[in-house]
Amino acid sequence: MNSNKNNHFDVAVLGGGPGGYPAAIKASQLGKKVALIEKKDLGGTCLNRGCIPSKTLIANANLWKKIEAASLYGITVNNPTFDYAKMAKRKDEVVEKVRNSLGQLIEANGITLFRGFGKLTGPKTIKIMGDELFEIEADKIIIATGSEPKSVASFPFDYEKIHDSTSLLNLTSLPKSILIIGGGIIGCEFASLFNAFDVEVSILEMMPHLIPTEAKNVSDTLEKAFKKKGIHLYLEALVQKIEKTKTGVRAYLAGDKTIDAEIALVAIGRSLNTSGIGLENAGVIVLPNGLIAVDEKMETNVAGIYAVGDIASKYWLAHVATHQGIVAANNAAGQKSIMHYNAIPSVIFTEPEIASIGLNLEEALNEGYDATIGSFPFQALGKSQAIIETEGFAQVVIDKKTGELLGAQVVGYDAGNLIAEMGIAMSSESTVETIMDTIHAHPTVAESWLEAALLANDTPLHLPKKKKKSLRE
């Protein structure tokens, strides 16, 4: 094993995904000698097998739907066609371009990149198994190994007929039909993607609603939209097993019901990449739920060892991992930094698009708040009418007594960008009055936040007023 004084680092980061590489960059910017260890491609799941490739394909789908609706804008498009193989190629080109840029960024920051599988051999040592076997030492270690699609024996992946999200992204041709097991974020995004290209889509979800972590009116809106688009929904469906058939796949549900399709996607969650990385060698505690125990500094029970991303919190979001990585790097470099979770935006790139932050109404009431909402439909916005994007709404959740902004949800056009305003508002502890007093440009879809805030205070401009006491009375 190769080990010498040149293999000593101030900070070593295990994993080059959206939690790991920002941690490495931040630590380097703070003057530390940094090692970054990655067994696959820089960027992790998000860049290579998740966020970026899926959103590239979804962008193709969104444009295709616009082309199909061109006549509504007074535009004639004769016999448009699409080539999914070319779309898949563009997806790969986008990923490669971003990945190459990331590699240049790592190099520009003076970070030493090791290619191979990293395993802790102690609280300050990591064995790297790549083209050669060697060991490095580090004063501080940041673990950011992420997660992979979850598999179970009753849903056996063969990556030809029964897919996980990774293999499904690699298709170069479309099936005629698809079964999607799991109505969460990944399942619903793929449902929108394939439905846009006229693939027959069936979603099988064991819970009473799609995306059950979202507000009920958000889930209801998505379900209504999916049904209108011809997506088949099987809610409270217990899938017992999936088998391959001569013509495709068959799902067996409780009650002797079966559903057939050409292929299937199993999107029932993800498995944490914590096994085999030597946590026990360093004495790092793993909780019963599989997560690594960390404090608000993202530090584990072992001083100087930090964990970020999917393996360290319930928020399995790339942007959360990035922020955790920065917090961990700050602390590893001697800077005081803590993680806050009160204003985390989440975006679901379905059609319609969905974004949320903070508490929904049901959660706020369950936590004991005297809460209410203001929900403004895009149908009532001039800009939404102008661009023919009237589906959905924006809503704020507030404390009726104090006006505190507890959360916000938006369903519809550009939801992912619209939620940013609420992120800033909640991070700065703004009240509903702050939103009401903020001049919003007209005509924009972002005006919906002003209207939602006014509705929550029962002082609406563009919807009828309801009879209740104003916060300013």
Q: Match 């793929």 to its residue by tokens.
A: 190
Helix (H, G, I), strand (E, B) or coil at 93: helix
* List 163, 319, 323, 442, catalytic entry: 442
Q: 28 CB contacts (<8 Å, ≥6 apart)? A: 34, 109, 110, 111
The one-letter amino acid at 454: L
Q: Match 């030809």 to its residue by tokens.
A: 160
**DSSP 8-state class, residue 355:** E
Q: 134 CB contacts (<8 Å, ≥6 apart)? A: 1, 2, 3, 7, 127, 128
H or E element that contains 271:
strand 270-272
Per the annotation, the verdict on 442 as an active-site residue is yes
Residue 127 β-bridge partners: 119, 135
Annotated binding-site residue numbers for NAD(+): 182-189, 205, 269
**DSSP 8-state class, residue 292:** B
The one-letter amino acid at 34: V
Task: Tell me the C-alpha distance between 370 and 374, whole Å.
Answer: 14
392 alpha-carbon distance from chain centroid: 20
Q: Match 């004639």 to its residue by tokens.
A: 76
Task: Tell me the C-alpha distance between 436 and 454, whole Å.
Answer: 6
Annotated binding-site residue numbers: 55, 118, 145-147, 182-189, 205, 269, 310
Helix (H, G, I), strand (E, B) or coil at 296: coil
Residues identified as active-site: 442
